Amino acid sequence: MKINLVAVGNKMPGWVSEGYEEYSKRMPRECALQLTEIMPARRSKNAQPEQWKREEGQRILASIADNHHAVALEVTGKSWSTEDLSLHMQQWLSDGRDVALMIGGPDGLDPSCLQRADQKWSLSALTLPHPLVRIVLAEQLYRAWTILQNHPYHRS
């Protein structure tokens, strides 16, 4: 199984890339984490946020195969503890399909992405900067993996 982090945004600061890579490289081959960066919509004075979300949503969906298990990172989604995430990860591994985690741009995910999602997950009720979400998500995925492996990294 591969976990594909599909995130709107490119040209991240070095600290974001370093933080993400630190946890991504820790993931085992059977649960590899990869990043697909989606070009953000071009913001202009004449366009509207709904138009930007639609454009980004089309790009996100184009990068996800039909057979992938899609998870939308959405503030209105269900909140999971780290232990919950490890249970979901176990289900994903058992299912055998690749997983796509969708992170929208500054205006959020387009409704088409939410419709495509098999699950909706809220990392926090807080508004988090999108670059930071990449690092938090990579670390939590690694932590969930260590729980499944009975590795001492996670301490309850």
**Domains by residue range for the chain, with CATH:** 2-148 (3.40.1280.10)
Residue 156 has pLDDT above 80, yes or no: no
Closest CA to 99 of 132, 68, 73, 75: 68
Q: How far apart are CA 126 and CA 117, in angstroms?
A: 21
Q: Is 150 left (phi over 0), alpha (psi -120 to 50) or beta?
A: left
Which residues, in sequence order, are CB contacts of 149 under 8 Å at separation 6+?
none
Residue 50 has pLDDT above 90, yes or no: no
* pLDDT score for 118: 97
Q: What is the pLDDT of residues 7-26, one digit of tens each?
A: 999 889 999 999 999 999 99
Binding-site residue numbers are: 73, 104, 123-128
Which pTM was predicted? 0.93
Tell me the β-bridge partners of 70.
100
Binding-site residue numbers for S-adenosyl-L-methionine are: 73, 104, 123-128
Distances (CA, A) of 47 to 10, 72, 132: 21, 25, 27
